[in-house]
Amino acid sequence: MKCLYFDEVLTFIEDYPQPRREKGEALIKIHYGAICNTDKEIIKGYKGFQGILGHEFVGVVEEAEDPTYIGKRVVGEINLGCGECKHCRQGYNNHCKNRRVLGITNKDGAFAQYITLPLANLHLVPDGVADLEAVFAEPLAAALEITNQCHIRPTHKVAIVGSGKLGQLIGQVLSLTGCDLTILGRNEKSLFLLKNKARVQLISQVDYASYFDVVVDATGNQSGLSYAQNIVKPMGKVVLKSTYHDQALLNPTLWVVNEITLVGSRCGPMDATLRLLDKKLVSTEGLLGGVYTLEEYQAAFADQNALKSVFKIVE
């Protein structure tokens, strides 16, 4: 099968062995796979991954022990716990220390014609959700996880730092809470997409100091966390959504003195995500950039104008 394989450099391979499903797994033919900032960070050295990249996908089940899945469109949770450790036994397989992660840790990913995943990881895509909407399910679920972890009150002043793809989805999700929402970024074009959801402002043109009850860092770089620390109120919360290869340098004294809570936030609820997409409460309009073949991977990863670049993999 065709795939994008990473081993210090990213390479297109035309004849990679097709995966074989194990007991409890499904074989999935990928329709679309989307580039995430994590993929770009892996290429820089994050996680030390070797294998097929890609963890945001939509596809169709071709083989499964449960015949009701065959022919159905699916998206998938990316974490595969060992099923035996205390975290897995308590239902926290996302935090299994031995977990594999699709396209990130010890599991070939979705920039390929086929993948395998356990049936327990799969979620059926509603008929009213198009493929190019469903491919956003994994990052939208990550946006929803914030509301699982933090009680966002309608009276809260909330800021999102970063207006890229993840910031866009977080902005749409948090706007549903009724909070006083501000989105801060460096790109006027991407901020404009959210003007009907929140107050949008260029970071260079504002000066917020100790102002927000909750700040979400979705910048994808080390400067975002320092900036979030500066604009959150004492006893406020900073939610960290950025994953990157670099180290962040912080002065811990300010966090201690101001009693700021730092919340790490990762994967989220897929079923709720698909309901939001099906009910059109969240839109992917304007987020999709170029659609590329796997052979065009260099152009796809180099596309600086797209909030989201997608590989069309189905033939």
- Render pLDDT for 119-177 as a digit per residue (tens, 0 to 9): 999 999 999 999 999 999 999 999 999 999 999 999 999 999 999 889 999 999 999 99
pLDDT at 245: 67
pTM passes above 0.85: yes
Half-sphere exposure of 158 (CA within 13 A, CB side): 28
Nearest to 229 by CA among 199, 205, 200, 259: 259
Q: How far apart are CA 16 and CA 140, in angstroms?
A: 30
**Residue 314 in this model has a pLDDT that exceeds 90:** no
pLDDT at 247: 72
Contact 250, 258 (CB under 8 A): no
pLDDT band of 315, cuts 50, 70, 90: low
Amino acid at 315: E
pLDDT more than 90, % of the chain: 74
Contact 214, 156 (CB under 8 A): yes
Report phi then psi at 217, rounded to 5. -90, 110
**Residue 212 in this model has a pLDDT that exceeds 90:** yes
Which region among 81-85, 156-160, 214-218 has the lowest average model confidence (pLDDT)? Answer: 81-85
pLDDT at 95: 87
pLDDT at 183: 96
pLDDT at 195: 93
pLDDT in tens, 19-50: 999 999 999 999 999 998 889 889 988 878 99
Highest mean pLDDT among 57-66, 86-95, 182-191, 283-292: 57-66
Which is higher by pLDDT, 261 or 247?
Answer: 261
pLDDT band of 242, cuts 50, 70, 90: confident
Tokens 């995500």 belong to residue: 273
Exposed e or buried b for every residue in 252-283, given b needs 16+ CB within 10 A? eeeeeeeebeeeebebbbbebbbebbbeeebb
